[in-house]
Amino acid sequence: MQGQVPQTEDAVGSQYVVIGGPERKAERTNIIVMKFGGTSVADATCIKRVANRIVDARKAGHPVVAVVSARGDTTDELIELAKEISENPPAREMDMLLSTGERISAALVAMAIHELGYDAISLTGSQAGIVTDTVHTKAKILDIRPQRISRALEEDKIVLVAGFQGVSTNQDVTTLGRGGSDTTAVALAAALGAEACMIFTDVDGIYTTDPRIVPEARKLDFISNDEMLELTASGAKVMMLRSIEVARRFDVPLWVRSSFTDAPGTLIGQEEKGMEQAIVSGVTYALGDAKVTIHDLPDRVGVAAKVFTTLARANVNVDVIIQNVSAGGAADISFTADENDLPKITAVLDGLKGELGFSSFDLDKEVAKVTLVGAGMKTYPGIAAKMFETLAENNINIEMISTSSIKISCVIRKAQVETAVKALHAAFKLHEDMVSREEIFS
Ligand code: ADP
Ligand code: ASP
Ligand code: MG
């Protein structure tokens, strides 16, 4: 059965969605985009299981585009190998190296599909028409030109796409950053107007927190794009952040499901009016940030602006910020940022010290951030207070706080993060479905 694959003769965007450019929705088709993560294609048995899943979708009448990740720990192993050769390998060569992991998987799955008697073709990111910017190792997709995919689907082939990679506007191979195959899948689903994008992984959906830390964590049947964005941005590693941004922007029906069972998984989608909302949907934690404190900054107009513009120019992303005004017209400012950026931060602050006249700064890697996310928080007071109280009862000191309408984050000591996640999960009764405000505060 052939799907209504949109056709075009010309390149560059044409009637397709231009990711990152003007937004146009592709016509909806019955194409299904399936993505299989590293554990799902780890060995020959897994690869055969994946091939069967893909063929089942094909038998059900769907043209299938399957995006695959590198097998098991291949990407980590390639990074380690590069480090053995060079302390600071050229980013272009890293991309040439890392993109091979996904190509291996794509070719192997194509072979397994042939064994099942179906026609399949594997494509690299470049062959699949994924055009990115030139930022090696964290490239952004600029455009998708899926003519080759469309042609193969019309020829009744199952299409395998090597995830996590594209070709830059300079014609170099690029990769999209860790977890990037999620973004490949969602972006292709947007460009092809797919009926659904299904992310097959080693858990059977999105949970109220990382099930590896809290075994009582509960699987969610549905989560809104906004909540999923907050969960992902605040540390839940299950999906790449950019993939959720693309899904929201292009309204892609996105499912997260188990590669090993037939359970339906979690739908990530648009929140409908009148839909019942959980007060708190999940707890996340993030360990990769450090806290930087600048002491005795002169308390005058423009000082904070100077510090943070200079950091931004050095490409440092800053997360939580607090300022304490101390006596004598001087203030301390603390902020968190990716600990990998500490060398850049140190260089920026050393450079500003004379000009701004602050006394010193210190760096602290022993921090972590715990976050509560929930769309229902908008309308229920007392959630922050309950969170602070729970942390206090567990002897956890809060060093910084930041909030948005649907999340509250606290920066705490790294050594206490597991206690914090477990305590918050229990206090907000996240193992139970649709807990009322009365139950939380009873
Ligand atoms: P893949 O290799 O398939 O891309 P990942 O390892 O990237 O899979 O993501 C799946 C993992 O995400 C799970 O094994 C789980 O431990 C972790 N995880 C973290 N937070 C959550 C959450 N809230 N819900 C589900 N899984 C989560
Ligand atoms: N293989 C890449 C990684 O490990 C991309 C992915 O799996 O999505 O980050
Ligand atoms: Mg992943």
Domain ranges of the chain: 17-202, 275-442
Q: Is the pLDDT of residue 13 over 70?
A: no
Pocket of ligand 1 (CB under 6 A): 37-40, 69, 179, 201-203, 206-207, 209-212, 236-238, 282
Phi/psi of residue 61, each to 5°? 105, 10
Ligand 2 proximity of 179 Cβ (cutoff 6 Å): yes
Q: Is the pLDDT of residue 24 over 70?
A: no
pLDDT bucket at 32, cuts 50 / 70 / 90: very high
Q: Is the pLDDT of residue 179 over 60?
A: yes
Give pLDDT tens digits for 72-129.
999 999 999 999 999 999 999 999 999 999 999 999 999 999 999 999 999 999 999 9
Mean pLDDT of 391-410: 95
Closest CA to 330 of 302, 359, 307: 359
Quote the pLDDT of residue 376.
84
Neighbours of 8 (CB within 10 A): 14
pLDDT bucket at 346, cuts 50 / 70 / 90: very high
Tell me: domain 275-442, CATH 3.30.2130.10, correct? Answer: yes
**Assigned CATH for 17-202:** 3.40.1160.10
Give pLDDT tens digits for 248-261.
999 999 999 999 99
- Closest residue to atom 17 of ligand 1, CA basis: 238
Among the bound ligands, the one closest to the CA of 231: 1
| Site to substitute for ligand 1 among 40, 198, 238, 243, most atoms within 8 A of C-beta | 238
CA of 244 to the centre of ligand 1 (A): 14
Distances (CA, A) of 16 to 108, 130, 383: 29, 12, 44
Quote the pLDDT of residue 315.
86
Token duo for residue 58: 């094909």
Token duo for residue 330: 């001087």
Mean pLDDT of 31-47: 97
Give pLDDT tens digits for 250-290.
999 999 999 999 999 999 998 877 777 788 999 999 999 99
Q: Is the pLDDT of residue 6 over 80?
A: no
pLDDT-above-70 percentage for the chain:
94
Q: Is the pLDDT of residue 136 over 80?
A: yes
